[in-house]
Structure 1
Amino acid sequence: MKQRFLLLLALCFAAPAQAGLFSDDDARKQIQQLEERVLRLEDASKQQTKSMLDLQGQIEALNTEIRKLRGQNEELAHGLQDAEKREKDFYVDLDTRLRRFESTNEAAPAAGGAEAAPADHDDPVAENRAYEAAYGLYKGGSNASAAKAFQEFIKKYPQSVHVPNASYWLGNALFNLGDYKGALDTYQALLKAYPSTPRAADVLFDIAGCQQELKQGAAAQKTLKQIVAKYPSSEAAAKAKKQLAAKK
């Protein structure tokens, strides 16, 4: 508006000097054209200002979103670190408790001939804790400690509903330790005692793995074929088919 006012003012002062050159109609036309030009320039300036303001608003919104995402990312990273630390602390605590329990058992016979109080084998809470402790060691990668814990569990709670699973994880722990003969014996004993276990197909596949490691190729082939014939829809059967096809 200021530009427009100054321009019109200049035209007003210049009008007398041009009176001899232009007629009133020509002067009015020129003034009108100048006004229209000024209006167009003002509109263009307004549009440019509006576009710049819109762009600035979009930039601010993006910056806000970036800051928000960075904050969420930092929270997630912090939460993940806390979860990893809690998991590590949990397994360390389980391992410490197991070692303390083993030390107590070893020291009991030397306690001046005093008769130790018998453990409560009918305590379901203690039974579940013992199984969970052994499984926690296995999941944490402590295969040697896990194998020992599962063996103690099976010995202490032979009638527990957890025995089939404990035997399966015991076999896996022994296999991971390279004790293929021990793992094979454990898997075979599991299938003999619990032939209807839901893990039967997986146990057979693991048996085939032990047989292969023990250089019992013919027995391993036979076991793989048994899986395909007896449990054709299982994942173990799909893996067995691949191995059989690779041998051809």
Structure 2
Amino acid sequence: MKPKHVLAALLLSCGSVHVLAAPAPVSEAAGSKSSLDARLAQLESLMQSRNIMQAEMQQQIIVLQDEVSQLRGITEEQSYKLEKVLQRQRELYQEIENRVSRVPEQATSPVANVTVTPDTAISSNLSENEAYDRAVALIMKDKRYDAAIPEFEAFLKKFPNSVYEPNAHYWLGQLLSIKNDDQQAVGHFKRVVDNYADSNKRPDAMLKLGNLYEKLGQLDAAKQILTKLVQQYPSTTAAKMAADRLAKL
């Protein structure tokens, strides 16, 4: 082979080796790295957003827990105050009941027929609460039981739809029964029993009504109302007293 030809062959052989061993283009490697960095940046951004959302939700939960705690405290305080008011009302009724019950049955003496003076009439400028408190005060504080009767009657006329209406009828029945005006007393107790199913005075009115029926000789009516009392209000003191009366009838 001629020297020229040998040299050409060697040059071609070296050139082909360099072509085969050439690395990948720089642009492809740079593109892959850029894509990976972008994905990592995206994941980091998502993680940061997630962490921020979790922190915000945790803060909201803490705020809601504080609000619930405050509301629970307010509810418990209001429940306590309501229970104290109801307890005081029960004590007031019991005190009135005890005082009225201690009045002798001879209350039909001439004192019982005293003419009512103008100062016992309900003043036209008294509110519903003031008028009712005034009538109750005549029983509990002043012990003017006879004066309390027209006071309650005037109250019922002036405030026919009062929330105190069943109580006023009950106390009228109680006061009239002390005066041995049994028929009138029956009427008032019966109003409470028949018309005010939700009144807390209804069990006591049923007991008083049964006692009056017995006193008037209406034993069947007495047994019927006392039995109903025991059935409808079994856990009350009035029901226990009614059971004792039934056992003796």
State TM-score, norm by structure 2: 0.49
State TM-score, norm by structure 1: 0.49
Bigger relative CO (Cα 8 Å, ≥ 6 apart): 2
